[in-house]
Structure 1
């Protein structure tokens, strides 16, 4: 199978007017990209209230319509946001959040989540038992579509022992401002041996405050996939994930171009 970069999208924008129509919906740029690039896989992180909201309740009508629309696309997968507070969050609290995301799909198949994004994750090796228990709880449940996607957001490098303890999980090993890329000579993700030593297909990178050119965007997607073999990437011009990047279309097109190049050279990018 040829290597391909996927988009990990923290979609924390409120889906205003999505109950009215997909045309009026605040998430329309995503729907447009899903339609325009059917060969790109999008993993969309859904986060109504810093989590799903009260236990065993459904999201509001705008979220219902917006999630239903995403789940209709074959190249999209929705996963639920759960905070871990750097391993300080009580087990019963995060389990309630996980259970509630699963509950959505039992009430309406169109609202099904397909895994969990564990945010505010620690990279301290002493927290491995906490995150292993967290991951196992998710994986022991029955999810629509089979095996759930579990992604931990440490946002920084972490020891190999995390990957060994949770062999099916993905880890965000870089989440930072684009200025970190600009100021580094050369940038550590491409040169730091720890990134190379960790399994590339189980890593994700996230950039915010992007201020570069189209060429800079392509450099990020090309290097992420072609040199490091990272599984996921996301780039936004915003300081957070509560508004649309002004370069959203540029980013998606860059991912498409990177994947097209790798598909044309399968022997180089297996």
Structure 2
């Protein structure tokens, strides 16, 4: 069954997704470091999770996931409300198109991995393009990267690949098109998040494709809950607040964000 169909059956297709940068290594031989993510997926089955994995500033050099990542990915993919996407950095448009395409192709190799590794479902269902440009001159560059991802990735079940851009700030309207599912128009500390008016300057036509990622939110669970509920009520496409700065050490707010999206 296609992942898109599953999301539709669960009432998640148009819901605000929990956009989780999961940059923590899963753990040796056992994905225990991701335990709080598995718990949240199980506890909030009506919440859509879009989970970004990033083993080495992208897929790294190995032909497929190693013995730590393979079982962890398989467990993520066992949840119907989880979509796993792979990290690719564009260096604000300075990476060559061939380098971007090579990383996307490498992630597709992870999709092939199940055939040679005990049928573990290591599916990567999309790409998170980090450090994307906001320049007019890079619109075609990003459109081509997204189109390549859509045509190259072959998620299990025939799902349509999911593409996210992350400029981390307001993006030009020309970047919004059918090739991209979400654009992160805020990535900064919780202290700099506009709690009262996160939609300031965002045209109504962009709201459903706009996501926010806040960080450095440790000890601010009530503020996180308020902001997530507000973003969901306004129809934004994705949101997450991390307790730490860099998404590589603290998953304590995953359940807080998920609960606010119910």
* Same fold? TM cut 0.5: yes
1:160 touches 1:198 (CA, 8 Å); kept in 2?
A: no
Gaps of 5+ in 2: 1-10, 115-119
Residue from 185, 198, 215 that aligns with 1:189: 198
Counterpart in 1 of 2:4? none
Deviation at 1:179, TM superposition (A): 1.1
Structure 1: which 4+ aligned runs deviate by more than 6 Å?
A: none
1:43 touches 1:77 (CA, 8 Å); kept in 2?
A: yes
CA distance in 2: counterparts of 1:224 and 1:196, whole angstroms: 15
Residue correspondences, number: 244
The answer to whether structure 1 residue 8 and structure 2 residue 14 are counterparts is: no
Counterpart in 1 of 2:6? none
Counterpart in 2 of 1:125? 136
2:154 touches 2:161 (CA, 8 Å); kept in 1?
A: yes
CA distance in 1: counterparts of 2:218 and 2:126, whole angstroms: 32
User: Cα RMSD over matched residues?
Assistant: 2.0
Task: Please give the secondary structure, in 1, of the residue aligned with 2:73.
Answer: helix
2:187 touches 2:214 (CA, 8 Å); kept in 1?
A: yes
1:178 touches 1:211 (CA, 8 Å); kept in 2?
A: no
- Quick check: 210-219 or 4-13, which moved more? 210-219
Counterpart in 2 of 1:96? 102
CA distance in 2: counterparts of 1:100 and 1:49, whole angstroms: 12
The answer to whether structure 1 residue 237 and structure 2 residue 243 are counterparts is: yes
Counterpart in 2 of 1:205? 212
Deviation at 1:213, TM superposition (A): 4.1
Deviation at 1:142, TM superposition (A): 4.8
Counterpart in 2 of 1:264? none
TM-score norm. by structure 2 comes to 0.86
2:163 touches 2:179 (CA, 8 Å); kept in 1?
A: no
Question: Cα 1:47–1:187, aligned 2, differ >3 Å: closer, same or farther?
Answer: same
The answer to whether structure 1 residue 222 and structure 2 residue 229 are counterparts is: yes
Residue from 158, 162, 167 that aligns with 1:149: 162
CA distance in 1: counterparts of 2:166 and 2:226, whole angstroms: 23
Structure with greater Cα Rg: 1
Task: Please give the secondary structure, in 2, of the residue aligned with 1:251.
Answer: helix
CA distance in 1: counterparts of 2:45 and 2:185, whole angstroms: 27
TM-score norm. by structure 1 comes to 0.84
